[in-house]
Structure 1
Amino acid sequence: MTAEKRIMLVDNEEGLCRMMEAVLCDNGYAVTAYTRSFEAAETFQPGQWDLVVTDIKMPGMDGLELLQKVKQKDPTIPVIMVTAYATVEMSIQALRKGAYDMLTKPFEPEELLYRVKNALSHTKLLEENRELREELVGRFKFDHIIGASSSLKEVLEKVEKLAVRDTSVLITGESGTGKELIAQAIHYNSPRKDKKFVAINCGALPASLLESELFGYKKGAFTGATENRRGLLETADGGTLFLDEAGNLPMEVQKTLLRFLQEQEFHRIGDPNPIKVDVRIISATNADMKTAIKAGEFREDLYYRLNVINLHLPPLRDRKGDIALLAAHFIRLQNKKFGTHIKGLAHDALEAAVEFGWPGNIRQLKNVIEACIALEDSDYITLPVLSQFVEIAPAETVEAEAPTEEGEYNKALTRFETEYLRGLLRKNHGNVEAAAREAGTNMATVYRKIKKYGIRKDEYNA
């Protein structure tokens, strides 16, 4: 991987320059060394280099001037400054001009390699963040939210209107209905879209840790606070903070959050100085907030601050028309991720999926599709495979659908097939695959017969 990393090395001391070049080349970096800073400045072009390492004190154009010229052409490239005369003033000056790091002579080769590795990792992280932001902007446009039901359209119409209005939003709905996806859609269609979207699950952390995560802390504020740390509110400055499971906020955190919403400022733990930030708050919950307020578990004043606008997401069972669209979407995603070629759900499997209640909502559907694709051997997800992950129609419904007028032959055939299947399942301890193999038929046929005759295979499990 390091062989592709291109480093411009600038130092008028030819011996030191050759030494650094040799160390870096021996570790797989592509290095071009310059002993004249003017030549390096003229040669530098954005996109041709991953890192610049330059001495500060050089005749003619010094390292700080070279740093400025390089940064004018490529503001994102990291630059390591090398000097034998490091002072606080010089370090501050270099860092203000855009230097990534300072390396003081004399140094060991290991230290040079360590600084170079850190600088290149920083570049990689910036690039990944840029790519992720571009991906998110594409993913969370309205036309990338899957569904055509009237209930979803109503939600998206509201999202489109409120996205541009800088106000607090509370998203309610059952777990798995896509609350965070809607929060991201609001952010990426708002004037804050170029700033950060920061999310935290308020139910996943204890009160003390949640408070420090949200508001940060000052060095020495408590045991283990060895340095100043920014909280998520500062990280999200200019952007959006998404509080998932906000109904689980501890009371002490609720009080601090309310103060922030009222005054747009807060205190790091252990710091008397207030910090002002510009952050939009979007929260979500699957809890009954009004019941929590009556029980004294949630502040009513905070609730009204968070719930300026309410968006309620319907459960998947109330969006049956969207199940086929969502399933097809998840199948495409899994095919792309794992190189599979599943074409869709078989007709009877799709019917079963539409009729299923999906208590885990969209998240459960996504997980079931992924599991089915992992086990499916045919071109379509079949009912036998789907039935391993969701409960198909109960036996009573199947029996009610059975014909009431049968000839003697059909009755005899029914009795024979029923007893034969029960015997196979008993012998194979409810294993349908083993039963089908012994009968010389496929699993789909056995499953159809089990459904037809209302046989409960779990009665025969070992």
Structure 2
Amino acid sequence: MAKILVIDDESIVRNAISNLLVSDGLEVDQAESGTQALSLADSEIYDLVLCDLIMDDMNGINILKRFKKRSQDVEFIIITAFATIDSAIDALRNGAYHYLVKPVNDEELLLTVRKAIERNELRMKVRRLESQLRSQFGRDDFIAINPGMQRVIQNAMAVGNTESNILINGESGTGKEVLAHVIHSASRRADKPFVAVNCAAMPEALLESELFGHVRGAFTGATNTKRGLVEEANGGTLFLDEIAETTLEFQAKLLRFSQFGEIRRVGSNATSKVDVRVISATNKNLKEAMHNNKFREDLYYRLAVIPLHIPPLRERIEDISILAQHFLQIQNKKNDRQRMHFSNKAIAVMNKYAWPGNVRELMNAIEYSCAICESETIEVQDLPFALQSQSELVPGFRSETNRTLEEVTKQYILHVLQETNWHQKKACQILGLSKTTLYRRLQQYGIKPKLMTTGSGS
């Protein structure tokens, strides 16, 4: 609900406007002077201000400038019985949304107020969309043919329309925030904000201020009252990532918020109600953290009403190639190289790799390969070295544990040379060796270096 401040030194006018707005379902505060209005703004954040132009202590233009200096987001409507072209131009030039002349028709006033609020909401919605476009993952990246992963997505869609809090567990890079977006998009809150907070990215004091907001003067540097991210998410979804990294003290504050839907800005004694659905995520075992007294049991059961687990990519082998193809299409479009594709050997290597960084690592690997590949086919040697150097590249490495290190090294060097068609430069890059060291190893193992090509022209 939008919050409005009405400023007028005439109580009859002030009350009449306020009562009209309240009857329209709006939340309204009143101020009889500019000084009182600025004092209220120290502890409250207003979406719209209606202000008389001429008052004893401060005129409406000066109040407008002071409010705009604090926040450009506030909409401002000047109301006056002494209208002039110059004052109207001055008001609009300084950021006023509209300029009304007393006596104001009720219908005209309500229509102007509604349009101002719509403009404010549209601006906030555009910001949210821009933020989503800048995010690294989009919902299309949640692609799966693995039955277990499909069940996770189906469950996420099913619980979307509930109001229950959800806890998502999964290793780093599995796409916990993406799944949270899926849940939000499937909910009745889909057209409302989705606000993500990384609890591990900030120290506790800053996290509390970011999450719950603060009032002016709450701490050094708090020059203005600031709305917290919980308030930004009002009506929508709040995503708390890395929830296990919070302190027990901060968890107590989260508990109160999750229990009663109430927040208190840092430096304020007043509480305010919010309507927020909470989705939390962690890559830790919270039950183990509870056992070790690092996570509150009461908060856990508040947050984990519906628990969801995302399996790691190594347990979804059938998804690796389709995800790789998806990320390749993204890179093809970005780099205008529409015909790039993977060789069968490159796909096989990707399928065998353990992917400790999960989907995020796969996405980065494809971007790397597209950047260094000089042809239309991404081969094994174009993949990141972590994939090239995995033990599966040497046939039988895992099963034959009785061979010496020298034998394994010789076989691996031979394998890389064969995979690169004895291309000296590429072989050195994959092996991480200088040309001199490679030649010395070849002589040591009795491999004739005359078969190699420099490939300097390629």
TM-score normalised according to structure 1 size:
0.63
Task: Check the 8 A contact 2:341/2:377 in 1, yes or no.
Answer: yes
Task: Check the 8 A contact 1:169/1:281 in 2, yes or no.
Answer: yes
2:376 corresponds to 1:363: no
Task: Check the 8 A contact 2:391/2:398 in 1, yes or no.
Answer: no
Q: Distance in 1 between matches of 2:181 and 2:278?
A: 12
Question: Mapping of 1:307-386 within 5 angstroms?
Answer: 307-386=304-383
Counterpart in 1 of 2:453? Answer: 440
Q: Which letter does structure 1 place at the counterpart of 2:353?
A: F
Q: What is the CA distance between 1:345 and its match in structure 2? A: 1.3
Counterpart in 1 of 2:204? Answer: 207
Q: What is the CA distance between 1:124 and its match in structure 2? A: 10
Q: Which letter does structure 1 place at the counterpart of 2:307?
A: N
Counterpart in 2 of 1:260? Answer: 257
**SS state at 1:171 partner:** strand
Task: Check the 8 A contact 2:365/2:384 in 1, yes or no.
Answer: no
What is the alpha-carbon root mean square deviation over aligned residues?
4.6
2:428 corresponds to 1:428: no
Q: What is the CA distance between 1:166 and its match in structure 2? A: 0.6
Q: What is the CA distance between 1:190 and its match in structure 2? A: 0.2
Q: What is the CA distance between 1:251 and its match in structure 2? A: 1.6
Q: Distance in 1 between matches of 2:306 and 2:179?
A: 13
**SS state at 1:296 partner:** coil
Q: What is the CA distance between 1:247 and its match in structure 2? A: 0.4
2:178 corresponds to 1:178: no
Pick aligned residue for 2:247 from 250, 258, 269: 250
Alpha carbons of 1:347 and 1:367: their partners in 2 closer, same or farther (altered >3 Å)?
same
Task: Check the 8 A contact 2:217/2:224 in 1, yes or no.
Answer: yes
Task: Check the 8 A contact 1:213/1:231 in 2, yes or no.
Answer: yes
Q: What is the CA distance between 1:359 and its match in structure 2? A: 0.3
**SS state at 2:324 partner:** helix
Q: Distance in 1 between matches of 2:393 and 2:328?
A: 31
What CA deviation, in whole Å up to 9, does each residue of 1:285-326 have, x standing for no partner? Answer: 001111211111110100111110100000000000000110
**SS state at 2:235 partner:** coil
Q: Identity of aligned pairs, percent? A: 37
Q: What is the CA distance between 1:439 and its match in structure 2? A: 2.8
Q: Distance in 2 between matches of 1:440 and 1:234?
A: 65
Task: Check the 8 A contact 2:190/2:236 in 1, yes or no.
Answer: yes
Alpha carbons of 1:179 and 1:376: their partners in 2 closer, same or farther (altered >3 Å)?
same
**SS state at 1:234 partner:** helix
Q: What is the CA distance between 1:391 and its match in structure 2? A: 3.9
Question: Mapping of 1:290-305 within 5 angstroms?
Answer: 290-305=287-302
Q: Which letter does structure 2 place at the counterpart of 1:177?
A: T
Pick aligned residue for 2:391 from 394, 404, 410: 394
Q: What is the CA distance between 1:400 and its match in structure 2? A: 6.2
Task: Check the 8 A contact 1:342/1:381 in 2, yes or no.
Answer: no
Q: Distance in 1 between matches of 2:217 and 2:280?
A: 31
Q: Distance in 2 between matches of 1:265 and 1:401?
A: 57
What CA deviation, in whole Å up to 9, does each residue of 1:325-347 have, x standing for no partner? Answer: 10011111112222233532111
Q: What is the CA distance between 1:380 and its match in structure 2? A: 1.8
**SS state at 1:390 partner:** helix
Q: Distance in 2 between matches of 1:276 and 1:437?
A: 78
Q: Distance in 2 between matches of 1:208 and 1:270?
A: 12
Counterpart in 1 of 2:21? Answer: none
Q: Distance in 2 between matches of 1:274 and 1:180?
A: 29
My pick for the range that moved more, 217-226 or 190-199, is 217-226
**SS state at 2:387 partner:** coil
Q: Distance in 2 between matches of 1:437 and 1:299?
A: 67
Task: Check the 8 A contact 2:368/2:384 in 1, yes or no.
Answer: no
Task: Check the 8 A contact 1:352/1:392 in 2, yes or no.
Answer: no
My pick for the range that moved more, 288-297 or 187-196, is 288-297
Q: Which letter does structure 1 place at the counterpart of 2:263?
A: F
Q: What is the CA distance between 1:101 and its match in structure 2? A: 7.3
Q: Which letter does structure 1 place at the counterpart of 2:453?
A: G
Pick aligned residue for 2:155 from 140, 153, 158: 158
What CA deviation, in whole Å up to 9, does each residue of 1:140-189 have, x standing for no partner? Answer: 66x76211110111101111210001110000010000000000000011
Pick aligned residue for 2:270 from 254, 270, 273: 273
Q: Distance in 2 between matches of 1:166 and 1:437?
A: 70
Which sections of structure 2, spanning at least 5 residues, go unmatched? Answer: 1-49, 68-73, 79-83, 97-115, 400-413, 443-448
Counterpart in 2 of 1:448? Answer: none
2:217 corresponds to 1:217: no
**SS state at 1:247 partner:** helix
My pick for the range that moved more, 334-343 or 122-131, is 122-131
Alpha carbons of 1:267 and 1:329: their partners in 2 closer, same or farther (altered >3 Å)?
same
Pick aligned residue for 2:231 from 222, 231, 234: 234
Alpha carbons of 1:437 and 1:360: their partners in 2 closer, same or farther (altered >3 Å)?
farther
Q: Distance in 2 between matches of 1:126 and 1:230?
A: 13
Task: Check the 8 A contact 1:372/1:385 in 2, yes or no.
Answer: yes
Q: Which letter does structure 2 place at the counterpart of 1:191?
A: R
**SS state at 1:398 partner:** coil
Q: Which letter does structure 2 place at the counterpart of 1:233?
A: V
Q: Distance in 1 between matches of 2:185 and 2:393?
A: 48
**SS state at 1:283 partner:** strand
**SS state at 1:440 partner:** coil
Q: Distance in 2 between matches of 1:261 and 1:127?
A: 25
Q: What is the CA distance between 1:129 and its match in structure 2? A: 3.5
Q: What is the CA distance between 1:217 and its match in structure 2? A: 1.1
Alpha carbons of 1:125 and 1:401: their partners in 2 closer, same or farther (altered >3 Å)?
same
**SS state at 1:242 partner:** strand
